[in-house]
Amino acid sequence: MDFRYKGKEDLTNSVSLLISILIRYPEVARINFDPEHNLLKFTFMYAGVLQENEIVQLKEKIISSIEVFHVLEGKSPRVVQLAYEISDALTMIEIERDVDTLVQGEITLMVDLFRGYVQESLVTEESDRPNDEDLLVQEELIEHMLESIKRKSETKRLYAFREEGRVLVFNK
């Protein structure tokens, strides 16, 4: 067995997962993969400064929605955390999730919740909106790659974000 190839395949799956999430969900500003703790960190950007009470409401809504989602799925997530940072006129909101219980449908739920809560103030990359068939293919790809990285031991910390219409992925 060639372990070097296996490592490259694992890395390829992890990189492909991050790229696919950013392509499918333009609302996600950046995404980090922490293999040591087996976590994905999704960052959303709000054009403006959210007040403390607005952040508390958003946090309660998102975390309770994720918990209900998992009750319906019959799973118990290990990590569901929401943090934020205010920088200039932006509020960056990060959701941290364990890969073991994360599924593609939950990512869609998180994005839909952000879209509904912050509406037109959610910073997104302007691009051609893919058709429904392309969206379904991306969602299937995301689900497949999530399952793949759950079964394999990846060791590279990855960081992906958008810049001027391109998706960039770095090994931290």
Better-scored residue on pLDDT, 154 or 44: 44
pTM of the entire structure?
A: 0.87
Q: Which helix (H) or strand (E) holds 11?
A: helix 3-24
| β-strand partners of 160 | 31, 169
User: What is the residue extent of each domain of the chain?
Assistant: 3-171
- Could you report the per-residue pLDDT of 25-34, keeping only the tens digit for each? 999 999 999 9
Q: Which of 41, 25, 18, 40 lies closest to 108, judged by CA?
A: 25
Per-residue pLDDT at 7: 40
Which tens digits make up the pLDDT trace of 35-88?
889 999 999 999 999 999 999 999 999 999 999 999 999 989 999 999 999 988
pLDDT at 6 over 70: no
Give the number of C-alpha atoms closer than 13 A to the C-alpha of residue 44, restricted to the C-beta side.
27
- DSSP annotation string for 56-93: HHHHHHHHHHHHHHHHHHT---S-EEEEEEEETTEEEE
Tokens of 123: 């910073």
- CA triple 85-89-95, angle to 5 deg: 30
pLDDT at 160: 94
- What is the maximum span of the chain, computed from C-alpha positions, in angstroms? 55
Strand partners, 43: 30, 94
pLDDT at 130: 63
Q: Give yes or no for residue 99 having a pLDDT over 70.
A: yes
